Amino acid sequence: MTRETAIKAENLSLTFQTNDGPVHALKDVSLDINKGDFVSFIGPSGCGKTTFLRCMADLEQPTGGSITVNGVSAREARKSRAYGYVFQHAGLYPWRTIGKNIRLPLEIMGYPKADQDARIKRVLELVELDGFDKKFPWQLSGGMQQRASIARALAFDADILLMDEPFGALDEIVRDHLNEQLLKLWAKTQKTIAFVTHSIPEAVYLSTKIVVMSPRPGRISDVIENPLPVDRPLDIRDTQAFLDVAHRVREGLRAGHSYD
């Protein structure tokens, strides 16, 4: 079965010019993400995960190579609202309630009022924040704010979801729960998901494909096709197959970390 390509990066490079000289955030990165893939990006801090995601989102302009999203340029994809983006920090607007924050993309994209209300209700339930729509961001814990920002990215119909460490600030239990929810959502909606994480178990549990990155210059050091079945109960994490994949990821990370 051949599937359509959702995101395609070819020899993608991005060099930031800083006062301390050039920083090679990405160098010759090539990667294919198919429609319906769940791809995790893992790697040490500063290896260019966020930068890569921002290139896909047309928030950063590559200095070399090319990137296409849904077969068109990243810019055209952004203009056609092809993706939802969850930032590393929740980034809710402090003057809007949780409900109004989720309404923001719907207002901008011109969804009808009744549809907006229904969608807000649905995504709030999905991230288990029902009843919090009238609260302001500062009245919520950091983890709840992060969930609200996920709900905001899920509220509108985009078939790609770009998530930058969305669960980094959450405790283990909530994280497990949201991982499960995210898998269900992914199975149900057939979205293509690019997901940045620092957690090996999280990457192995969620993804169909794990991209291991290494820093200075930021590049891909390993791409691991996850052999685990699509149907994954939480306790799959205790099986030998799971531990084998996790081991490979750890090896990849270690190789990238070598200080030569």
Q: What is the contact surface with ligand ATP in residues (CB under 6 A)?
A: 16, 18, 23, 25, 45-51, 218
Q: What are phi and psi of 80, to 5 degrees?
A: -90, 15
Q: State which of residues 50, 97, 116, 207 lies at the interface with another protein (CB under 8 A).
A: 97
Q: CA quadruple 112, 136, 161, 47: dihedral positive or negative?
A: positive
Q: How many helices (H) and strands (E) does the chain have?
A: 8, 10
Q: Which of 11, 9, 39 is nearest to 209 (CA)?
A: 39
Query: Which does residue 8 touch among Mg ion, ligand ATP, another protein, none (CB within 5 to 8 A, set by kind)?
Result: none
Q: Using the rule CB under 8 A, is 138 a contact of another protein? A: yes
Question: C-beta of 44: minimal distance to another protein in Å?
Answer: 23
Question: C-beta of 216: minimal distance to another protein in Å?
Answer: 24
- Beta-carbon count within 10 A of 22 CB: 11
Q: State which of residues 13, 50, 116, 145 lies at the interface with Mg ion (CB under 5 A).
A: 50
Query: Which does residue 201 touch among another protein, ligand ATP, Mg ion, none (CB within 5 to 8 A, set by kind)?
Result: none
Asked whether the beta carbons of 209 and 222 are under 8 A apart, the reply is: no
* Look-up of token digits 């991230």: 127
Asked whether the beta carbons of 193 and 158 are under 8 A apart, the reply is: no
Of 27-66, binders to another protein (CB under 8 A) are 57-59
Q: Which stretch binds Mg ion (CB under 5 A): 16-24, 49-57, 60-68, 144-152?
A: 49-57
Q: Using the rule CB under 5 A, is 149 a contact of Mg ion? A: no
Query: Which of residues 24 and 135 has its CB atom nearest to another protein in the complex?
Result: 135
Contacts of 203 (CB under 8 A, 6+ apart): 40, 42, 195, 197, 210, 249
By the criterion CB under 8 A, which residues form the site for another protein?
Answer: 57-59, 78-81, 83-85, 87, 89, 91, 93-97, 104-105, 107-109, 136-138
